[in-house]
Chains A and B, each alone.
Chain A
Amino acid sequence: MTTFEAILLTIVTASTPLLIAALGELVTERSGVLNLGVEGMMAMGAACSFAAAVTFDSTLIGVMAGMMAGALMAALFALVVLGFAANQVGSGLALTIFGLGLSGLIGAPFVGARRDPVPPVDIPGLSDIPFIGRLFFEQDLFVYSSVALTILIALYLTRTRSGLTLRSIGENHTSANALGLPVLRVRFVAILFGGACAGLAGAYLALVYTRFWSPGMTAGRGWIALALVVFAAWRPGWLLIGAYIFGAATVLQLHAQAAQFGVPSQVLSAVPYLATILALLLLSLRHGRAVGAPGSLGAPFVPDR
């Protein structure tokens, strides 16, 4: 394997957690709920998945635990923002603070432990194609799943009845309520889905990407995922592209640090964050305001009965 191939492979692994978390948030936001707790849910997903995987020595159980943890966190958020109609921005922030703290508690006994690499699954035939074969068809299951999930979500939103209902509710919850669409129920499920995805993304980080657990290991990826949703104008296809661009930026700055160009490592470490700001800025320059944002995004809904 050449260095170039190795870099491309790591780009795929660096992009996958961003993509998974952002997909979940995209569905949540399309239903009209802004959950700023992605970072916290992701951290919980990472901690719980790693703890479970080490305890039961099973990656599968670890992944399940990570998704469960993310979904449970999301359920807490849903209780507060749907049940009590609390402020979504504040509640999301609280969820992140809470998740970062609690993940530290859960993960503390497992600091120092390591997991074996998750074996890649190669797709016979396709993986023999020179160059792109190894890149695209000899990845782990998560990578395939994340791409499949992107397509499924795109189809779900545009082609299915339930997807149409979800979009309608996100677009205008007052109209949706007047038509008798179950606004709160759909939002609850969408929030849970977002949480499970964030948990899965965290599990991927801990079990595949780093294969150990350390406090604060999500390092702002949850926030970048949130920015990606804006950047992708709430479209799954654009999310895929955006996640890979960001994954590439992250990996390239790591390699640049290793290569010691004489640029301080901190400057390179800041690249993903600065790139996020730049991406949001470029998007605004092109379109004016945030395009494609669901009409009811972030607004609390209290049905009048």
Chain B
Amino acid sequence: MRFELTPRTTVSPVARALAPVAAFIVSFLIAGFVIWLMGRSPIAAFDVYVLQPLSDPWSLQELLVKATPLALIAIGLSYCFRASLWNIGAEGQYVMGAILGSWLALKTHGTEAGFWVLPLMLVLGIVGGALYGLVPAFLKTRFGVNEILTSLMLVYVAQLTLDYLVRGPWRDPKGFNFPQSVTFDPSATLPPILESGRVHYGVFFAVIAVLVTAVILGRTLFGYRLKLTGDAPRAARFAGFNSRATTMAVFAISGGLAGLAGISEVSGQIGQLQPSISPGYGFTAITVAFLGRLNPLGILVAALVVALTFIGGESAQILLRLPLDLTQAFQGILLLCVLAADALVSYRIRLVTRGGGK
């Protein structure tokens, strides 16, 4: 028994757009099956995971809050993935952005520092993430070291750095020995858009990133450069696009956006540094980027959809006693389905039993 793939001569745009939707449905069915295996009702789970968050204003706000870092990071990753460069260390770049940005917040804590603190923090967040992203890029372009492994290893290093800081030099002396920093001053806090709401200005960063990226990827030579580098690297070199410069640029961009997501989350959402400042946004964003087909608007939608699984996961943990790990498992299977669906779009697949192919 084997699969037989024949390349499709024409690919309809409808199929291309529907593929992620189909992948999503299949993943839901698989997740439902797993939930059923665990002795819970898949229908109740669907209600908790999807319907309740969507019908509750608090959850809808929360959706935007969670979608913000996902969209920011995934947008950055789309630059890398389009050029077939595998930055899988966004989680580390997110943490490093948060650390560098928070450094200023802690430095100016309790002083009369003015309005400039927050913008500078954000800039430092971008710089921190970008510099950290440039490490694997530099190792790749200068020494030919595989970027997948180095970018991932640096995630652990970033997390340990954060852990060290909040337990050591940056720990709040009045914090009852809890591993956390002081709470940021208002001048270092990204304010909510609505007075009483939870949605902070980070949402705008995500939207701006989406719009700017849509223009860059669709209309500029740099955008074409990434596409060409990813689709036909030799042709990119022939076009005069230096692949080292491309690599450095996309890692800097994706690291910078991940760093911005990190500092926005810390200053707009958490309000202080803790040992853990992300439920795995950096990794989930990989799923988001592919689910959005590396298209900026697609990523925006995908970020909202995947954010739903985080919120649903939290309420399912409380209401149905389903572990949070289910969310992660679902995100993994979703990414697998999305990638398989991509293949279904470009190939016609039929199952051939042995000898039946004649």
Contacts and interface: CB of A to CB of B under 8 A. Distances in A.
- On whether A and B touch (CB less than 8 Å), the answer reads yes
Interface string B315-332: 000000001111111111
A105 B323 contact: yes
B336 interface: yes
Output the residue of A90, A285, A288 with the most chain B CB within 10 A.
A90
Interface in B19-49: 34, 38
Interface stretch (A4-12, A24-32, A220-228): A220-228
B94 interface: no
B239 interface: no
Interface in A2-45: 36, 40
B4 A94 contact: no
B249 interface: no
Contacts of B327: 101
Interface in A93-135: 93-105, 108
Contacts of A249: none
Interface string A209-242: 0000001000010010011001000000000000
A87 B150 contact: no
Contacts of A96: 332
A105 B335 contact: no
Nearest to A269: B160
B347 A85 contact: yes
Nearest to A182: B2
Contact of B154 (A82, A227, A277): A277
B51 interface: no
Given A84-B3, A96-B332, A101-B331, A90 B339 contact: yes
Given A274-B157, A280-B150, A91 B339 contact: yes
Given A230-B149, A270-B156, A270-B160, A80 B336 contact: yes
A267 interface: yes
A273 B144 contact: no
A280 B290 CA distance: 28
Contact of A80 (B34, B149, B340): B340
Contact of B344 (A84, A101, A305): A84
Contacts of B330: 101
Contacts of B332: 40, 94-102
A274 B5 CA distance: 42
Contact of B335 (A97, A230, A280, A285): A97
B325 A104 contact: yes
Nearest to B5: A302
A276 B290 CA distance: 28
Contacts of A284: 139, 143-145
A40 B335 CA distance: 14
Interface in B302-355: 323-333, 335-336, 339-340, 342-344, 347, 349
B287 interface: yes
Contacts of A87: 339, 342
Interface string A66-101: 000000000010001011111101110111111111
A289 interface: yes
A303 to B, nearest CB: 8
Contacts of B290: 90
A220 B156 contact: yes
B357 interface: yes
B286 A280 contact: no
A301 to B, nearest CB: 10
Interface residues of A, number: 53
B79 to A, nearest CB: 16
Contact of A98 (B139, B167, B333): B333
A281 interface: yes
A256 interface: no
Given A36-B148, A269-B160, A302-B7, A101 B340 contact: no
A85 B164 CA distance: 43
B335 A93 contact: yes
A264 interface: yes
Output the residue of B86, B160, B163 with the most chain A CB within 10 A.
B160
Contacts of A289: 144
Contacts of A176: none
A270 B95 CA distance: 15
Given A184-B2, A273-B153, A280 B7 contact: no
Contacts of A91: 335-336, 339
B243 interface: no
B339 A80 contact: yes
A97 B160 contact: no
A90 B153 contact: no
Output the residue of B3, B5, B287, B290 with the most chain A CB within 10 A.
B5
A176 to B, nearest CB: 16
Contacts of A149: none
A82 B5 CA distance: 10
A190 to B, nearest CB: 16
Query: Nearest 5 A-B pairs (CB), nearest first?
Result: A98-B332, A104-B325, A101-B328, A101-B329, A97-B332
6 contacts: A91-B336, A93-B335, A99-B332, A270-B160, A273-B157, A276-B149
